[in-house]
Amino acid sequence: MTDSLGTRDRRHLWHPFTQMADWERDEPLVIVSGKGCLLVDEDGREYLDGSSSIWVNLHGHRKPAVDRAIKRQLDRVAHTTFLGATNPPAVELAERLVELAPAGLSRVFYSDNGSTAVEIALKMAYQYWRQRRPAPRPEKRRFMHFRHAYHGDTVGAVSVGGIDLFHETFRGLMFPSTTVEFPYCYRCPWGKQPDTCNLHCVGDVQQALETNAHETAAFVVEPLVQGASGILSMPPGYLSAVADLCRRHEVLLIADEVATGFGRTGRMFACEHEAIQPDLMCLSKGLTAGYMPLAATLATEEIYRGFLGRYDEFRTFFHGHSYTGNPLGCAAALGSLEVFDTENVLEKIQPRITHLWRGVRRHLGDHPHVGDIRGRGLMVGIELVKDRATREPFPLEEQVGNRIGRVLRDLGILLRPIGSVLVLVPPLAMTRPQLTRLVTGVRTALDRVLDGGQ
Ligand SMILES: Cc1ncc(COP(=O)(O)O)c(C=O)c1O
């Protein structure tokens, strides 16, 4: 008899962001299929996909229009190089992205994942200033990022990351970047209250720009919601204030919409909520509705033109990947955008968003260990605390989030908590009854793990 898949997995595999000593002790979940917002394991048990398979899935699994788009492309060709050639889905997708993106973004550079989309934006910003015409500014070589930020795991993306637990180990490999405090209202770094603070936090960005703009190429920002730091959300008006300040100080604004893009916050892109126009924008995750690894970095014409010149001027952007412009990925993305159009997805999700937030407030708002509920659209973070009155956090070693995630799995719900923050990021297609099941399941798991909330 052959060994189980779980045993074979543990013999050879190494999983991301996973303490493998723990993994080796446990029986892994083996997902074999999916349909809509449900995933099915090898024993036929069904699970609600409460994290959209790590924030990528939009329209559910095995969505016919996306399946069809990929199959159609597969009947033509799976992959051809983007060096010296182009392909129909890549061209068509670029046109669609430019139509949908905030005004001013007119150029599309493809890659494979969120980290590379960010890496490319950083390198474009850096090189742009070095060779800008008519007045190059090579001294603008630093970056700015927020505390708690997460922009991916490649070395450049880590350099603009602000989660010490993930990033500190690699300090020696990283290039210098200026940290700006994030307006984490529940634990305001300036000790202010949201209703009376008058956006005190904007002053901090202003100061950082006044001090550093002369040597700063770009400020990397996740618009509205810092996802991987625990769905930390900006107060209203903050994002547009930051965008204005960047513009005034001649610092490029990189909008990392890897997590927030494609409807996740209730609009196609989070930038739209405050009508900001970034200079560079990073897309991945939902770009292919959770089907294929594909990413895009969008740039303004101004940045793009900075790279034009005679061959021997070597202004070229020397960057690329084997799978740049992959036709199957681009076809999947086109299939997804077709679903947005034909099914009025952005309209349809509004009542679902209202339903989700109502449910979260009703079923979780009064729990003695729920400290903060935050987020936007279909991105909800629930910060659990040991003591609601003092906001004392749970020590990381207690692994409260992981323990709750384990109980949820037994209840047929898959979530991926971040530390003590429960993160609900359902597919845009999750139905109202499924959303209710998700929220009530979280309440049950909370009560079980935290001893009836006592
Ligand atoms: C905002 C943001 N940027 C970048 C990334 C990195 O994306 P990837 O995991 O596809 O490299 C992530 C991943 O969670 C993200 O949330």
148 close to ligand 1 (CB < 6 Angstrom): no
426 close to ligand 1 (CB < 6 Angstrom): no
Nearest CA to ligand 1 atom 2: 151
151 close to ligand 1 (CB < 6 Angstrom): yes
258 close to ligand 1 (CB < 6 Angstrom): yes
Tell me the average pLDDT of the chain.
96
Atom of ligand 1 nearest to the CA of 117: 4
Ligand 1 mutation pick, 150, 153, 257, max ligand atoms within 8 A of CB? 150
227 close to ligand 1 (CB < 6 Angstrom): yes
Residue 451 has pLDDT above 90, yes or no: no
- For residue 114, report the distance from its CA to the centre of ligand 1, in Å: 4
Atom of ligand 1 nearest to the CA of 227: 16
Residue-wise pLDDT for 173-230, tens only, equals 999 899 999 999 999 999 999 999 999 999 999 999 999 999 999 999 999 999 999 9
pLDDT at 454: 45
Task: Give percent of the chain with pLDDT exceeding 90.
Answer: 96
Residue 303 has pLDDT above 90, yes or no: yes
Nearest CA to ligand 1 atom 4: 151
Residue-wise pLDDT for 404-426, tens only, equals 999 999 999 999 999 999 999 99
Residue 1 has pLDDT above 80, yes or no: no
- For residue 348, report the distance from its CA to the centre of ligand 1, in Å: 26
Atom of ligand 1 nearest to the CA of 154: 11
259 close to ligand 1 (CB < 6 Angstrom): yes
pLDDT at 263: 98
Ligand 1 mutation pick, 160, 220, 258, max ligand atoms within 8 A of CB? 258
- For residue 197, report the distance from its CA to the centre of ligand 1, in Å: 31
pLDDT at 216: 98
Task: Give percent of the chain with pLDDT exceeding 70.
Answer: 99
pLDDT at 168: 84
- For residue 350, report the distance from its CA to the centre of ligand 1, in Å: 25
pLDDT at 301: 98
Q: For the chain, which domains are there?
A: 5-59+344-453 (3.90.1150.10), 68-342 (3.40.640.10)
Query: Where does the pLDDT of residue 452 fall: very low under 50, low under 70, confident under 90, or very high at 90 and above?
Result: low
Residue-wise pLDDT for 338-389, tens only, equals 999 999 999 999 999 999 999 999 999 999 999 999 999 999 999 999 999 9
100 closest CA partner among 274, 331, 283, 252: 283
Residue 400 has pLDDT above 90, yes or no: yes
- For residue 131, report the distance from its CA to the centre of ligand 1, in Å: 29
Ligand 1 mutation pick, 284, 288, 291, max ligand atoms within 8 A of CB? 284
Atom of ligand 1 nearest to the CA of 113: 10
152 close to ligand 1 (CB < 6 Angstrom): yes
Higher pLDDT, 216 or 165: 216
- 6-15, 147-156, 157-166: least confidently modelled range: 157-166
Atom of ligand 1 nearest to the CA of 295: 10
Residue-wise pLDDT for 110-147, tens only, equals 999 999 999 999 999 999 999 999 999 999 999 999 99
pTM over 0.85: yes
Residue 453 has pLDDT above 90, yes or no: no
Nearest CA to ligand 1 atom 13: 152
- For residue 157, report the distance from its CA to the centre of ligand 1, in Å: 9
